[in-house]
A and B are shown apart, each in its own frame.
Chain A
Amino acid sequence: MTLYQTTLLVSALAVLQVGAESAPASPPDNVETGPVERISPADSHEAEEVPTVKRPSPDSKPNADIAEMGLEELMAVQVVVTASRREETILSVPRAISVITAEDIRASGARSIPDALRLAAGVDVAELSYGNAAVSPRGFHGFASRYVLVLVDGRQIFDSLFGGTAWGSWPFQLEDVARIEIIRGPAGVTWGANAVNGVINIITKDPRDQLGVTATLGGGSRGAQKEHLGYAFEEGKLRLRLSGEFEGSDGFREGLSVFGGLDDDYKIGRFGVHAIYERAPNDTLTLSAGSGVLDGGYPRTPLGGFGFSRNPGSQASFVLGKWERRTSDDNSYSLTGYLNDFYGSPGLRQFDYRYQQLALQFAHTLSPIENHTLTWGVDSRADLLDATNSDPRVLSKPSVETGTLGVYARDQWRFRPRWSLDLGASMHYEFYGGFQPSAEAALLYEISDTARVYGSVSRAFQMPPAGLRFLEMPFLNGLAWAVADRDMDTLSLVAYELGWRWQPNRRFQTSVAWYWHDYDEYAPLTPRLGPPGLIDLAVANGAQAQLYGLEFDARYAASDKLTLLSNYTFQQLAWHSTVPYRYSDAITPPRHKAMIGARYDLTPDWHLSSHLYFVDTTSAPNADFPLVSRKIDPYLRWDLRAEHEFRNDRASVAVGVRNLLDPDHPEGGTLFINAAEVPRMVYVECRIHIP
């Protein structure tokens, strides 16, 4: 039996075992069973709601505020008591966190997850074409942003070949997203490899929050259209959602390439099923599956040369099973297993690829000693990459089987009434990268009941994806080659952070974070004279970089009708290498970035919103001339939206415009596709909910 077959067998058995043993379980976003704090699962219907994080805490939170809470906040209060289910506000988490709720997404008029991520402080977003976006907290964002880990309900989405997240390929259905939590800065102890600059954790809705039929229909500029249909029901202990949608667009019209048009037409069908079986509030089994089939989506690039190209597209599917169980007040487990199956053809004639990722994660939270909350866990994942359908000259190893195994432990110790210390460490092993440690220490001090200050130091690492070790890719009809390095080292980061958070009342919250990131063994593409081509771009470690910055955000519910939000980010990169930064296929972090938003309820049924974004000058890789970077001018993006609800808010019509100020502007570039200019987009959306 081959390794591949063994792995499939193990995971099939594992899924069966989960199904068989699964005794029901706790709520789907059962924080304490997960290895990292997660924000309250409560529905966030109101803009003024302040998201909260539930995290293990040895002491009880005073409840004097409950009498002053609004309905939405009351719905979020946990009344089930265990050490690990006690609720604290986001105030007390010693790291930089942003939360984007479903209401934020709706009010912003975001058409995709990357679009929605513009709302968060410290997250760099650049749309490269209709279906591709460079997204990463704290810089290094590019076509394949390898230094951020994206999770959907705990399932990692990280491309086995290129690294990063294929935003346009995976079946993200915005209608089903409950919230997005962004952890800025390293989270390697909890999540292992690739959680270097941050984690983007997408959490989908509990079907209970969508009972009935939901239909949305939207259309707009560039032939954009989206039809979504969802149905959710609750029957006894089971609640289930089925949802599907089609999204299509002619793409963005203008491209940055001087060699031709853009060709980023995009047609995708997405399907998902999400079931929760709850025997008791503390014993839950979640089963989730989905698929996205994409036609188009990858613009052609001049680097492909003059030969025939394939029709680009992808198919991305997953199955996830999660069992969460709390066995006593301070003891909980979770077990998560998932399979990612991805087939992608970026349109170049030289290669396509397919990979399966099989993962199994176990986490256990307990409180062995008073004032200590310990979380430990085991993560394992197998990556099976198959590129045998590619040009045999392209991959030095067309089939790559690799795997990671990691253990981690983290203790939250409240050692004084106002002080708490988080200490964590992990060790991960990867077949090609060897052993890699991560560690973190964070100290939090409660200045007052409404203010906290924290400091942290942490180490995280980025494991090169298989493609960087084995993919040798010809450009320009073989004149240039990207050359892999099987023995390349892992990138490591040591990060220092200081933060302050203040929440004087329910209506106002603000935070400031200062950080210093010190990267080692960064691996840009280093140009050299061939063979095999005339010019080779070889992956080579050795670059060092420092990134430091300041992040600020604030949210103020000025009245029941008006909510204001804003954020500002300052970033500065110091690059130490003989090879320029642009060869890493990453966009330089913009020095200044800001957002100002306002949401106003004209009447209970009319909702107006305005979001203004500013992004400073950046320098981006250039597909036309790989050795010359492209300057991206600063841009202002203004999004407006008006929504009218009727039939007891069961139906709504919204009209809006994205990028009002500008017919189109570029946001970034990449070596690998012909990047686009982001156009002004007008849209209309209709939504009907039949309970």
Chain B
Amino acid sequence: MSVRPPIRRLCWIGAACAWAVPSTAARAETVDPIKTAQVKAAYLYNFAKFTTWPNNAFADESAPVVIGILGVDPFGETLDKTVEGKTVENRKFLVKRLPPRSENDRTALRSCHILYISESLQSRWGSILELLGDAPVLVVGESDEFAAAGGMLSFVLSAGNIVFHLNRDAVERSKLQLSSKLMKLAKVVYPKEKS
């Protein structure tokens, strides 16, 4: 079969034209709030599975794992439904919405085993973490800055997925034992210079 020059030329023109793609449309990103809440709630349950608290963190053998929510509650009923009927080492879960201004209440903060701090309290992170000190509370927050700022775990939106960052020093200070799986799956582990 011989080559027909006009068609051949058309091919080259077509190839060149493929570059002329419109590139001015606006970008849009929408996060599904329901799905996000479901994923984060499921993460909290998974974090509990891979965390070991010291014995004195619980009043007795049947005391529940208390999940405290500080600031704006992003979960609604989702978190309650996610942990409903589930146990970790035979302990049920109890979800507590901490009342406003609890960020200054050292006892309330330390009464939780897992403390979720909403992004709305970003300006108070420092003082909250200071009040918690080395208490055996798994502190979970939002944004890539939270773990860097001394929070233990933080949710970060990455390429459309929710992943988590981890601060190893903060965990070690608290006497909590986290499974190496969490360390392995954390997208970023702080402090970065430590191996």
| Contact between chains at A360 and B195 (CB < 8 Å) | no
Say yes or no for B29: interface residue by CB 8 A criterion.
yes
| Contact between chains at A79 and B32 (CB < 8 Å) | yes
| Contact between chains at B31 and A10 (CB < 8 Å) | no
With a cutoff of 8 Å between Cβ atoms, the chain B residues found around residue A78 in the complex are: 160-161
Q: Which of B10, B12, B27, B163 makes the CB contact (< 8 A) with A75? A: B163
| Contact between chains at B21 and A281 (CB < 8 Å) | no
Q: A78-B161, A403-B12 are in contact. Are A70 and B38 (CB under 8 A)?
A: no
Interface-forming stretch among A113-121, A418-426, A521-529, A647-655?
A: A647-655
In the bound complex, CA of A278 to CA of B158 (Å): 10
0/1 interface trace, chain B 66-107, chain A, CB 8 Å (1 if under): 000000000000000110000000000000000000000000
Say yes or no for B108: interface residue by CB 8 A criterion.
no
Main secondary structure of the interface of A (DSSP, over half): mixed
| Contact between chains at A648 and B180 (CB < 8 Å) | yes
Within 8 A of B (CB), among A10-59: 10, 13-14, 17, 21, 23, 26-28, 41-42, 45
Say yes or no for B59: interface residue by CB 8 A criterion.
no
Interface-forming stretch among A139-147, A256-264, A304-312, A322-330?
A: A322-330
Interface-forming stretch among B40-48, B111-119, B121-129, B132-140?
A: B40-48
Most buried by B among A10, A79, A360, A405: A79
In the bound complex, CA of A575 to CA of B65 (Å): 68
B: interface residue count bin = 35 or more
Q: Which of B3, B159, B188 makes the CB contact (< 8 A) with A431? A: B3
Q: A325-B23, A380-B14 are in contact. Are A77 and B39 (CB under 8 A)?
A: yes
| Contact between chains at B30 and A82 (CB < 8 Å) | yes
Say yes or no for A479: interface residue by CB 8 A criterion.
no
Say yes or no for A6: interface residue by CB 8 A criterion.
yes
Distance from A574 Cβ to chain B, minimum over Cβ atoms (Å): 30
Say yes or no for A246: interface residue by CB 8 A criterion.
no
Q: A14-B19, A45-B185 are in contact. Are A282 and B28 (CB under 8 A)?
A: yes
Distance from A160 Cβ to chain B, minimum over Cβ atoms (Å): 16
Q: A79-B31, A80-B31 are in contact. Are A487 and B162 (CB under 8 A)?
A: no
Within 8 A of A (CB), among B145-167: 157-163
Q: A67-B45, A68-B42, A434-B1 provided; 18 other pairs, C-beta below 8 A?
A: A10-B15, A17-B19, A63-B34, A63-B38, A71-B43, A71-B50, A78-B160, A79-B36, A80-B32, A211-B187, A282-B29, A325-B25, A333-B21, A362-B21, A378-B14, A380-B14, A432-B1, A690-B195
Task: Report which B residues bind A (CB closer than 8 A).
Answer: 1, 3, 7-8, 10-12, 14-16, 18-19, 21, 23, 25-32, 34-36, 38-39, 41-43, 45-46, 50, 81-82, 157-163, 179-185, 187-189, 192, 195
A-B contact pairs, 13 of them (CB 8 A): A23-B27, A28-B159, A41-B159, A63-B34, A66-B39, A67-B45, A75-B185, A208-B159, A328-B25, A360-B18, A362-B21, A403-B11, A429-B7
